[in-house]
Amino acid sequence: MTSLARVGATGSMPVAPTPVLELTSVQKTFGQTQVLDVQGVTLRSGSVYGLLGANGSGKSTLVKILSGYHRPDSGSEGRLRGIPISWPIKQAGSGIAVVQQDYALIEDVSITENFLAQRASRRSLLSTVNWREEHARTLQSLSVLGVVLDPRALVSSLTPAQRALVAIGRAVEQLGSDDLSGKLLILDEPTANLGNADVARVLTAVRDYAASGACVIVVNHRMPEVRACADEVIVLREGRLALAGPQGQFDDDQLVRAMFAVASERPSHGDTTGSQPAVPHGGGVLALTWPASAGGEPARHCFWPGEVVGVAGLIGMGQDHLPYQIVGAAPRRGLSVEMDGRILEGGPVQAKQRGLILVPADRARDGLWLNGAVRENFTITRLAHMRVNKLLSGQAERRATSSACREWAVVYGGPEAEMWTLSGGNQQKVALARAVASEPWEVLLVHEPTQGVDIATRAAIHVALVDLAHRRGKCVVVFGSDYDSLATVSDRVLVMNSGRVVQEITGDELSEDAIATASMNVQTRAPAPPKTEGDPNA
């Protein structure tokens, strides 16, 4: 990463003018969960700020507040260029522009047409487009970033780096060109989909832009990239400011610790089997075999009854895709799945028959029927058992639902309450309770089980997952990028990179730090992760 020479002018600002943005005190609460509580953040012109934080640390929420998508809780205070902010921040004229992680470009039209939407507001609906002029403006805006592209080119024909630069160029144009000091550009993981060379190019453009006077926030959690582009770092953890200051003052270890907290206590695995799971009998209940690839040999990993295995990785590194591949809801692409030594083929129906069940991450889309009652969601997997005289019995359903919800301490308005009235954590409990109740099963795959879940529920889910493995002898595999959670529940953790397991962390080495370091320091991230259509996270 030495190619990313820092061009910024650290310490070259004698007098501090009015800060671009001051967040005196900003809170955001969803339902009963406070997801953000930030105080005393000041951003100044000409600097690049690296915004760091694990999943659920509140960085997306903060970005959404700054882009005017969320209105923070009442009582929140902040100043934009010295003027008190009235929430929610209005995008137009605020001098703030945001580049979304997915760039939000329209694929099948030209670069200029992607710029037109934001220019259009200045024209009447019926006026015609002067293409020559519009293209020239696009060219001009891109040249600010040192990019030369044909403005007529279709976005779909661009490389990932070019797309990133077009998206940034569009935001830059939105900010105007007259006086950059006071303008705020926010980039939400701009390099998430880029290879190394491209990362350098994009980050250099960002640095140059800041050097001309603007203030830039880059959401990122790759250490080398933060080092290469940020003057200052702001680290969030669990919605609060964990650390802030000039980037050079902190070493990698300090930053990782600030992001993930330290010394997370592991739950009391002890009573049953000690640190190691029971000696497996016969063979792994679930085995995954990846085909040989350019990167190396075929890889095989087995999962045993009685253990909790974590599968970790940065977003997009494959652990988000794998659970859906295993059950056959996404193309397996050569991945071979064996249950009890026999190859598993087909989709989720076959997976269920062989004792493999999945609790997906996206509860609203993949997990639950939100307009349905809690009862209807809970019993859907075992309606056959809810019958009296061959007909469904509402009473039997309600009884089963109530007793499961009591066992899982679900806070809800009764079995007939509609699912969407429950908080995220309680929805997740119902999803897990349903999966556990749909016997017979042997392997439970859970994807981001504690995402968007409050702290108490998070702890309860941890206990439940460990209990399933250690007391009931099930095999539990937890996929996610919440390293704290993974370190807490897992007996061992597999770290994925580019769709492959690259490291296994076991025993005493297992800690949140170790997972974080393993997933972040994984040298080059050159080959892009397999992008597949039907990607559940697309």
Partner 1 sequence: MPDTEVQTDNAAPKKADPPPLESAATRIGSRGRAVATMQRFGLLGFMALIFVLFAILQPNTFPTQDNLLLLISSQSVIVVLALAVSLTLRLGDLDLSFGAVATTSGIVFAVCDVQHHWPVSACILMALLFGLLVGVVNAFMVITIGLSSFVATLGSMTVVEGIGYQLAHSQVVVNVNEHFVSRMADGPGGIAVAVLIGWALFLVMWLVYERTPFGRYLLYIGGGRRSAELLGIRVSLIRYIAYAAGGLLYGLAGVVLVGTVASADPTVGGQYLLPPLAAVFLGTTAIQIGRFNALGTMIAIYTLAIVTSGIQLFGASAWVTYVFSGGALIVAVSLARFSRWHSGDDSNDISVTP
Please report, as residue ranges, which positions from 222 to 281 form the binding site for partner 1 (by CB under 8 A). Answer: 237-238, 240-245, 258, 261-265, 267
Q: What is the DSSP string of 421-455?
A: GS-HHHHHHHHHHHHHHS-S-SEEEEESTTTT--H
Query: Site for partner 1 (CB under 8 A): which residue of 92, 279, 294, 349?
Result: 349
Q: Is 96 left (phi over 0), alpha (psi -120 to 50) or beta?
A: beta
Query: Site for partner 1 (CB under 8 A): which residue of 125, 126, 279, 384?
Result: 384
Q: Which is nearer to partner 1, 47 or 423 (CB)?
A: 423
DSSP code at position 242: E
Binding to partner 1 (CB under 8 A) within 363-382 occurs at 364-372, 376, 380-381
CB of 77 to partner 1, least distance (A): 17
CB of 416 to partner 1, least distance (A): 10
Q: Which is nearer to partner 1, 144 or 444 (CB)?
A: 444
Q: Which stretch binds partner 1 (CB under 8 A): 3-11, 219-227, 413-421, 517-525?
A: 413-421
SS3 content of the chain, % helix, strand, coil (to 5): 35, 20, 45
Extract the tokens encoding 329. Answer: 């809801």
Strand ranges (E), 117-177: none
Q: Is 409 in the site for partner 1 (CB under 8 A)?
A: yes
Distances (CA, A) of 530 to 197, 314, 379, 498: 19, 14, 36, 7
Binding to partner 1 (CB under 8 A) within 487-506 occurs at 488
Pairing verdict, β 342-343 and 336-339: antiparallel
- Count CA atoms closer than 13 A to 225's CA, side-chain side: 27
Q: Is 332 in the site for partner 1 (CB under 8 A)?
A: no
Q: Which is nearer to partner 1, 248 or 347 (CB)?
A: 347
Report H helices in 52-110: 59-66
Instruction: Tell me how far the alpha carbon of residue 96 is from its chain's centroid.
Output: 23
Distances (CA, A) of 155 to 80, 97, 152, 374, 497: 34, 20, 9, 44, 28
Integer Cα distance of 365 and 363 in angstroms: 6
Instruction: Tell me how far the alpha carbon of residue 191 is from its chain's centroid.
Output: 14
Query: Site for partner 1 (CB under 8 A): which residue of 67, 174, 319, 485?
Result: 485
CB of 93 to partner 1, least distance (A): 24
Q: Is 484 in the site for partner 1 (CB under 8 A)?
A: yes
Looking up tokens 């832009």 gives 209
CB of 127 to partner 1, least distance (A): 34
Site string for partner 1, 431-460 (x = CB under 8 A): -------x------------xx--xx-xxx
CB of 529 to partner 1, least distance (A): 20
Query: Site for partner 1 (CB under 8 A): which residue of 9, 106, 392, 526?
Result: 392
Q: Is 353 in the site for partner 1 (CB under 8 A)?
A: yes
Binding to partner 1 (CB under 8 A) within 28-87 occurs at 30-33, 35, 40, 55-58, 60-61, 64, 69-70
Query: Site for partner 1 (CB under 8 A): which residue of 46, 182, 415, 424?
Result: 424
Binding to partner 1 (CB under 8 A) within 289-328 occurs at 324, 327
Helix axes 455-470, 424-437, angle to 10 degrees: 10
CB of 489 to partner 1, least distance (A): 9
